[in-house]
Amino acid sequence: MGLLALGTALEWPEAKKKAGQVRQWGIEQLLANWRRARGKERDVLLWGDEVEYLVVAFDDTAKKSRLSLAQADILKSLARDEALWKSGGSRNGDNGEHDGEEPPHFHPEFGRFMLEATPGSPWGIGFKDLLKVESNMKWRREIAKAHMAPNESPLTLTTFPRLGTKDDYIQPYYPPSGPALRSQFVPDEIANPHIRFPTLAANIRSRRGRKVELNVPVFKDLNTPSPFKDPSVDYDLHIWPEDDDVRNGAAKDDHVYMDAMAFGMGSCCLQITFQAKNMTEGRRLYDQLSPLGPVLLALTAATPIYKGFLVDTDVRWNQISGAVDDRTPEELGEAPLKNDRWRIPKSRYASNSTYISQDPRLRKEYLDPDLVVDEDIKKRLIEGGMDDLLATHFAHLFIRDPLVIFSEDLEELDLDKDNHFENLQSTNWQHMRFKPPPSGSDIGWRVEFRPMEIQITDFENAAFSIFIVLITRAILSFDLNFYIPIPLTTENMETAHARNAVLDKKFYFRKDPFPRRVPRTPQQSTNGSTFSSATSSAVNTPPPSPPLGPVDTEYELMSISDIINGGPDGLFPGLIPLVESYLNSVNVDVETRCFLASYLDLIRKRADGTLWTGARWIREFVAKHPSYKHDSVVSEEITYDLVKAVEELTAKEGRNGSVGWELLRGKKN
C-alpha cells in the first residue's frame, strides 16, 4: 500500500489546507519524472503478482474461528528470517525446490489481520518462469504459515465472513467505537497501527463529514425477514457524533450495513503488475486491459458474505469503493455545490475513467463524457510538454485531495523524488493503474491490473495471474482492440456484482477485436515489377480507410463464456482461443504447455459454468450446512466449518472428491 515513511501525519483540517501544495508539488515531480523517463525504451517484460492473505486463528475445542491481529509479530518474524537468508543461513521449510529463487517478500496491509506476499524477484516471459509461479505461491504460503502460531493459517479468502459482528471475531479482542474509525462494528485496532493507516481512515471520515457507508443488499432466503432490517445495527449508541449516522438513515432496509474502511480495505485481492517495453506500450496495455476488468471480476467472484449475512452480490469491489469514499455531500451531488469544486461521479476506488493510449483506434466517442478534470493542473502538464491524453489522465487523478500528509515532507520540494505524486497516485484505486518509473530506479513504465478477487487455492491464483500475462502477450502480438466506451466498462463493473453474474449476466464487449488489415503490397502498375522501385512514400502511407461505423455497432452484450471461450456464432473469437493461438505461434515446451493447458482449462470451465466460482461454492456450503436456517445468517459455527473447509481446500485442491472439487475439478473423481 504505497509508501510507509514515518513522520507527523496531519489531521484533516490541517491536511486540507496543504492539499493544494501537495498536488502542485506532486505534479512537478510527475513532470520531472516524466521528462526523465519518457524515452525509456526496450524494457523487458517483467511482471509480478501480489497475493493477500487473511490470518485466521482456529479454536478447535470451541469450534470458533477468529481473525488474528498478529500481523506485526508475523512480519517481524518473517523479516528476521529474510535477514538470515540473505546472510546465507538456511531457509525455513525449504527442500531445495526453490533453489535459485529469491525468497518472497511479505508486506503489511491495511487490515492487521492481513498479509501480502510477492515473489522475491519479478517474473519474466521465459515460459519456464511461468511454471514457477504456482509453486512459488505455495512456498509463500508455507513460509507465512511457518511464522504463525500453530493454530493460525494464512487463507486467501477475500473477506472474513464474520468481520464486524457482535461476537469476538478477532483475537486479541478489542471493543469497537475507537476515535479513528468511530465504527460501531470494528475497533480501531483492526487497522495496521502504522500512523498512515489510522490517519487515512480518520481523514476519509473527516473529509466526508460522516462515516463511510456501505449498504450491501442482503440475500433473501426463504426465512429471511422482509423487509430485512440489519439486526446488528445499534441505534442507541452515543459515543461519537458519527453515531448519529444510523439515526439519520445510513443503514438501509434490506441491506447489510457497514461503517468503516476495514470492511473494504480489509479485503484480499489478486493484483498483477507488468513492466512495458516503453511508455507507449504501457499506455496501450492500460487501455486494452481496462475493458477486461469487469469480466475478470465476475469470473473470480468470491465474496458472498458480509458481517455474518449472505448478501446478494458476489464480489468485493463496491464495498471497497464505499469504504474509502471520501466525497463530501456536495461532491456526491446530495447538496448544492458551495465550498467544493465539483461533483464527482465515482469514488477514489472505482473502475477507471480514462483511456490514455495515443492509438489511432481510440475514438473520442469512447472517452468518458462525465470525466472531471482539474483544468489548471492539465494546463500545467501540457505547458510542461505532456500530451493531452496523458495530461487529462493525471489531471483527473489529481482532482482528489491527498489524505495522508506528513508535515516533514512539506519543507522542501525534491524533484528527484515522487512522494507527493505517489500520495495522490496511490490513493486513486482504480481498476487499472498506470505507473511511471519510480524515480531513481531503472524500473520501466508499468501497468497494474487490479480488479481480480483472490482465489482460495494457489492453483487458481496462478492460473488467473498467468492468464492475464498471456492475454497481454496476445494483445501485443495480434494488435488486438478491445475498446468500448468507458461508461460501458463502468456499467459492466456494476453488472459483475450480481449474484452469479458469471453465468447469468451479459457484459458489453467489443465484437471484432482485430486490427483492420493494412496490406503492404500496394501496386504501382497493372503488370510489372513492383520490387525495384516501390519504396517509401506509397508504402508507408496507408490507403484511406473506409469510414468508421457508429460506435454502438462495434459492441454488443455478451456472456462471460462468449467473451472467454468465444461465441457460438458471434464475431468475437474468445480470449482463450486468442491465447491458444498466441501459444501456437511461439515455441513452448511440452511440460510448460501442459501446465498452461490446465490453467486455461480452469478459466474456460469457470466461464462456461462447469466449475464453480468461489462465491458459488461458499453459498452452497452455507446453504447445505445442517445448522443453516435459510435466514441469510452465517453463524459462528457455519463460519468455523467454512474456514476449516477452505483450509482443507487450500491443501488438497479438491483432489479425489475432497471438499471444493466443484471449484477445481468439476467431478468428484
Q: Are 267 and 316 in contact (CB under 8 A)?
A: yes
Nearer to another protein, 154 or 444 (CB): 444
**How far is it, in rounded angstroms, from Cα 419 to Cα 442?**
17
- Closest to 260 measured CA to CA, from 182, 317, 207: 182
**How far is it, in rounded angstroms, from Cα 106 to Cα 119?**
9
Give me the least distance between CB of 594 and another protein, in Å please: 4
573 binds another protein (CB under 8 A): yes
86 φ/ψ angles, rounded to the nearest 5 degrees? -65, -30
Binders of another protein in range 28-57 (CB under 8 A): 42, 44-45
Give me the least distance between CB of 131 and another protein, in Å please: 13
8 binds another protein (CB under 8 A): no
CB count in 10 Å sphere of residue 529: 9
516 binds another protein (CB under 8 A): yes
Which window, 54-62, 325-333, 511-519, 617-625, contacts another protein (CB under 8 A)? 511-519
- Closest to 598 measured CA to CA, from 453, 459, 458, 455: 459
Select from 521, 537, 553, 669 the one that contacts another protein (CB under 8 A): 521
Give me the least distance between CB of 470 and another protein, in Å please: 9
Give me the least distance between CB of 314 and another protein, in Å please: 29
Q: What is the largest distance, in Å, between two alpha-carbon atoms of the chain?
A: 92
- Closest to 418 measured CA to CA, from 107, 36, 8, 106: 36
Q: What is the dihedral angle through the alpha carbons of 277, 278, 284, 289, rounded to the nearest 10 degrees?
A: 50
Select from 226, 535, 537, 669 the one that contacts another protein (CB under 8 A): 535
Give me the least distance between CB of 514 and another protein, in Å please: 4
Give me the least distance between CB of 561 and another protein, in Å please: 15
Q: Are 177 and 183 in contact (CB under 8 A)?
A: yes
Nearer to another protein, 583 or 642 (CB): 583
226 binds another protein (CB under 8 A): no
DSSP strands (E only) in 295-379: 305-306, 309-310, 349-350
Nearer to another protein, 85 or 478 (CB): 478
Select from 125, 332, 498, 503 the one that contacts another protein (CB under 8 A): 125
557 binds another protein (CB under 8 A): no
Give me the least distance between CB of 129 and another protein, in Å please: 10
Nearer to another protein, 79 or 597 (CB): 597
Nearer to another protein, 56 or 471 (CB): 471
Taking the alpha carbons of 172, 159, 149, 48 in that order, is the dihedral positive or negative? negative
Instruction: Please tell me what DSSP assigns to residue 516.
Output: P
Select from 98, 140, 255, 277 the one that contacts another protein (CB under 8 A): 277
Give me the least distance between CB of 365 and another protein, in Å please: 19
Nearer to another protein, 39 or 544 (CB): 544
Give me the least distance between CB of 127 and another protein, in Å please: 8
**How far is it, in rounded angstroms, from Cα 53 to Cα 66?**
14
Select from 520, 541, 568, 669 the one that contacts another protein (CB under 8 A): 520
255 φ/ψ angles, rounded to the nearest 5 degrees? -130, 155
Give me the least distance between CB of 549 and another protein, in Å please: 11
- Closest to 28 measured CA to CA, from 428, 419, 438, 433: 419
Taking the alpha carbons of 183, 187, 192, 198 in that order, is the dihedral positive or negative? positive
237 binds another protein (CB under 8 A): no
Nearer to another protein, 252 or 473 (CB): 473
C-alpha cell at 305: 458474505
Select from 175, 249, 543, 568 the one that contacts another protein (CB under 8 A): 543
Binders of another protein in range 418-477 (CB under 8 A): 473, 476-477
Give me the least distance between CB of 590 and another protein, in Å please: 4
Nearer to another protein, 289 or 405 (CB): 289
Give me the least distance between CB of 357 and another protein, in Å please: 16
- Closest to 262 measured CA to CA, from 332, 314, 316, 312: 316
Q: Are 53 and 123 in contact (CB under 8 A)?
A: no
Q: Is 69 exposed, middle or buried (0-12, 13-18, 19+ CB in 10 A)?
A: buried
**How far is it, in rounded angstroms, from Cα 374 to Cα 148?**
47
Side-chain-facing half-sphere of 33: CA atoms under 13 Å: 27
85 binds another protein (CB under 8 A): no
DSSP strands (E only) in 44-144: 47-59, 64-68, 105-107, 114-118
- Closest to 654 measured CA to CA, from 602, 596, 576, 600: 602
128 binds another protein (CB under 8 A): no
Q: Is 222 helix (H, G, I), strand (E, B) or coil?
A: coil
Binding-residue pattern over the window 475 to 504 for another protein, x denoting contact by CB under 8 A = -xxxx-------------------------
566 binds another protein (CB under 8 A): yes
Number of residues that bind another protein (CB under 8 A): 55
Give me the least distance between CB of 553 and another protein, in Å please: 14
Give me the least distance between CB of 608 and another protein, in Å please: 13
Select from 121, 407, 523, 627 the one that contacts another protein (CB under 8 A): 523
Which window, 253-261, 396-404, 452-460, 523-531, contacts another protein (CB under 8 A)? 523-531
CB count in 10 Å sphere of residue 436: 25
Which window, 149-157, 181-189, 542-550, 615-623, contacts another protein (CB under 8 A)? 542-550
Select from 519, 549, 550, 626 the one that contacts another protein (CB under 8 A): 519
The size of the chain, in residues, is 669
Give me the least distance between CB of 471 and another protein, in Å please: 12
Binders of another protein in range 578-607 (CB under 8 A): 578, 580-582, 584-591, 593-594, 597-598
Cβ neighbors of 471 (< 8 A, separation 6 or more) are 289, 292, 575, 578, 579
Give me the least distance between CB of 518 and another protein, in Å please: 6
For 607-630, b/e burial (b = at least 16 CB within 10 A) is: bbbebbbbbbbbbebbeebeebee
666 binds another protein (CB under 8 A): no
Binding-residue pattern over the window 285 to 314 for another protein, x denoting contact by CB under 8 A = ------------------------------
637 binds another protein (CB under 8 A): no
**How far is it, in rounded angstroms, from Cα 53 to Cα 272?**
16
Instruction: Estimate to the nearest angstrom the gap between the alpha carbon of 434 and the chain centroid.
Output: 13
C-alpha cell at 220: 433473501
222 binds another protein (CB under 8 A): no
C-alpha cell at 269: 485481492
Q: Is 305 helix (H, G, I), strand (E, B) or coil?
A: strand
Chain positions contacting another protein, by CB under 8 A = 42, 44-45, 124-125, 277, 473, 476-479, 512, 514-523, 526-531, 534-535, 539, 542-546, 566, 573, 577-578, 580-582, 584-591, 593-594, 597-598
